[in-house]
Amino acid sequence: MMKFCCLIVIILCTIYVTNGGILTGQCLASNGKCGTKGLTCEQKFGQGWINKGRCCNEKPCCGEEESTVKPEISYSCGFETTEQCFFKQVSWDDFDWTRGSGSTPTNGTGPTSAAEGIHYMFIEATGESAEADLDTISTNFQASPYCLSFQYHMNGPDIGTLQVFAGEKSSFLSNVWRKSGPQPNPDSWKTATINIPQYSNLRINIEATRKAGDLGDISIDDIILKSGTCTNN
């Protein structure tokens, strides 16, 4: 049985070698113990065994079964500190989001408190139509599908549009989510959950557009970006 297992592993390793690079995963999956029991790959073959693939070339990886579980990557923006998070203000739009707590300055629009913690971000409606963005362009994400979730609040007769765009940094972004106008049950925060497909260099943009009228404060809070697909939608 052991011989059979090793044979399978040798075949796997050979396949991985011909595909180039992926071999590393196979060696790591064997818990770094290849060739000689009790010795790590580095002890056995020296530094650089990972890149050169020497672990599986010279000796088969025998032992532990392959682990396919990738560590989860997670980013969050709760706006509880003044420091900007991975979603940052930009200058190419018309104005900036405001960091708020409690109610927004105008009665009849905006939330009465944050969705998470004490602070949140909102766009102050002032009677002129304009756009404010939050953007991840200065963050480098590992290539992976992601689940983006956040809380949003759109209460008031002059509410404009809240949109999310995603795509490659070097290209045009695609619209992946959009809400326009006051939302049902307007006093409560709502949850947006969006599956973001894998990109080599992911960029996400959140764009709030206000229209003429004072009662159009749009708010967001508790932005979470996690690798993998969304599980609750």
Kindly state the number of chain residues that form the binding site for Ca ion, as judged by CB under 5 A: 10
Q: Does 111 bind Ca ion (CB under 5 A)?
A: no
Question: Which pair of structure tokens corresponds to residue 36?
Answer: 């000689």
Q: Which of 78, 156, 160, 216 binds Ca ion (CB under 5 A)?
A: 78
* 168 vs 89: CA distance, rounded Å: 19
Q: Does 116 bind Ca ion (CB under 5 A)?
A: yes
CA-closest candidate to residue 87, choices 147, 175, 79, 95? 79
CA distances from 222 to 95, 106, 118, 150 (A): 21, 22, 11, 5
Q: Which of 24, 31, 85, 96 binds Ca ion (CB under 5 A)?
A: 96
Identify which of residues 146 and 189 has a Cβ nearer to Ca ion in the complex: 189
Q: Among the candidate windows 22-30, 93-101, 162-170, 202-210, which touches Ca ion by CB under 5 A?
A: 93-101
Identify which of residues 32 and 78 has a Cβ nearer to Ca ion in the complex: 78
Q: Does 135 bind Ca ion (CB under 5 A)?
A: no
Count other C-beta atoms under 10 Å from residue 28's C-beta: 17
Q: Does 114 bind Ca ion (CB under 5 A)?
A: yes
Question: Which pair of structure tokens corresponds to residue 62?
Answer: 């025998």
* 72 vs 85: CA distance, rounded Å: 19
Q: Does 77 bind Ca ion (CB under 5 A)?
A: no
Q: Interface residues with Ca ion (CB under 5 A)?
A: 78-79, 89, 93, 96, 114, 116-117, 119, 221
